[in-house]
Amino acid sequence: MKILAVDDDPIILELLAHFIDTLTDHKVVLASCADEAIDVIQANARSPFDCFLLDIQMPGTDGITLAGKIRAMEPYTDTPILMLTAMSEKVYIDAAFTAGATDYVTKPFEMSELKARLSLVERAFDRRKASTGKIFATQAVSPEYNKVTPPINLHEPVAIYDVDNLIDFMALENYIQQLSRNDLFGSTAFAFTIRKIEEFHRTMSPFEFYSVLVDMGEIISDTLGGSQFLMAYAGNGTFICITESGWCPDTRALANSINLTAAKTELFDNQGQRIEPRVCAGEAIKLIWKTSASVMDAISAAHASAESASAAYQKNQNNVWQIGLTA
């Protein structure tokens, strides 16, 4: 990978350069502030970077703002961004992930930990490059773009951009794993699944399907807008949300709000036919007192709960229809 490391401390830059040169096959370019980083990125436009290592607290533009600026650049919408910082407070972690960070390493870092993190990033980067490629969220898309949207695997996470508080699924997993037990106090996980997602996937073009995910992601994000949360699309029509501050949401009421907004939003497929995606909500699961491993189990449980609710809804609909026939 070609990596850009940005930190105002020359010792950190020396350490990173030495570590990467000595222990990995990656190539690293160094910058001592955000402005220099932007210049370096522009100077390397023909040979873009594959990964960024950003310090959070720097004079002038900080690393969180820089992460947002990098994410806004077309070649870097899904390039891994690792935050390297001594600031382990949750408020900075949240801000970093919301701005587009993929993962987070606390300084002073252990070389073995940094190596492991880079390996994870590299594997994810390779997987992504080999599978779906880049999909850009945009409301006004040209017909040419429509033709090149790559196939989307129903069961795999898809990166969705430009939706507030919606981050990459891998970043959400990293975010949860970085939270300490104290940080988890008052956090709750829940999920929404788009009903009949298999049907949408089967009958729609990849672009149409992706547009449904973006639209529903926006509606869910807007509905949760008044609270502090992060969410990600986990695949199979399911959006997983993490909220905090002791708020344990009434997920069914939220699902009703989401569906009401979806009903008021006129959505059409490429043939001009109106489509009506609706969601089912799973149970809200509190993360308090859970260990790192069981937190991930709780996330899986929230995911499964929403999908079960969707399946149960569909089954009830079928039963009603059958009862109607009998009657």
Partner 1 sequence: MIHQKLELPGIERIRTRFLELLRERQVSIAEHALTAWESDELEKINGSLASARTLLHQIAGTAGSLGFEELGQEARTVETEIDDHLNGADADLAICPGALIYHMSDFVQLCQTLTAAQPETAQSA
Binding site for partner 1 (CB under 8 A): 8-12, 14-15, 18-19, 22-23, 57, 59, 85-86, 107-111
Residue 73 CB burial class (10 angstroms; 0-12, 13-18, ≥19): middle
Residue 22 Cβ vs partner 1, minimum distance, rounded to whole Å: 6
Per the structure block, which two tokens stand in for 161?
Answer: 């951009």
What token pair was written down for 287? 């993360």
Pick 96 or 254: Cβ nearer partner 1: 96
Other Cβ atoms closer than 10 A to 205:
15
Residue 20 has which token pair?
């990467």
φ, ψ dihedrals at 10, nearest 5°:
-60, -30
Pick between residue 18 and residue 315 the one whose CB is nearest to partner 1.
Answer: 18
> Which residue reads 């905090």 in tokens?
244
Opening angle at CA 10, ends 20 and 31, nearest 5: 70
| Shortest CB 107 distance to partner 1, Å | 4
Report in angstroms how near the CB of residue 88 gets to partner 1 at its nearest.
Answer: 10
Smaller CB separation from partner 1, 66 or 240: 66
Output 108 or 324, the one with its CB closest to partner 1. Answer: 108
Cα dihedral 98/102/105/106 (nearest 10): 0
In whole angstroms, how close is the CB of 92 to partner 1 at the nearest point? 13
CA–CA distance, 36 with 69 (Å, rounded to integer) = 13
Phi, psi at 192, each rounded to 5°: -125, 135
**Could you tell me the smallest distance in angstroms from the CB atom of residue 56 to partner 1?**
10
| Secondary structure of 161-185 in HEC code, one letter for each residue | CCCCCECCHHHHHHHHHHCCHHHHC
Contact assessment for residue 60 and residue 66, using Cβ atoms and an 8 Å cutoff:
no
**Is the Cβ of residue 110 or residue 126 nearer to partner 1 in the bound state?**
110
For residue 292, which of 184, 165, 144 has the smallest C-alpha distance?
A: 184
Nearer to partner 1, 8 or 218 (CB): 8
Please report how close the Cβ of residue 32 comes to partner 1 at its closest, in angstroms: 12
Burial class (CB in 10 A: 0-12, 13-18, 19+), 7: buried
Rank residues 15 and 231 by Cβ distance to partner 1 and give the closer one. Answer: 15
The minimum distance between CB 14 and partner 1, in angstroms, equals 5
- Name the residue nearer to partner 1 (CB basis): 9 or 162: 9
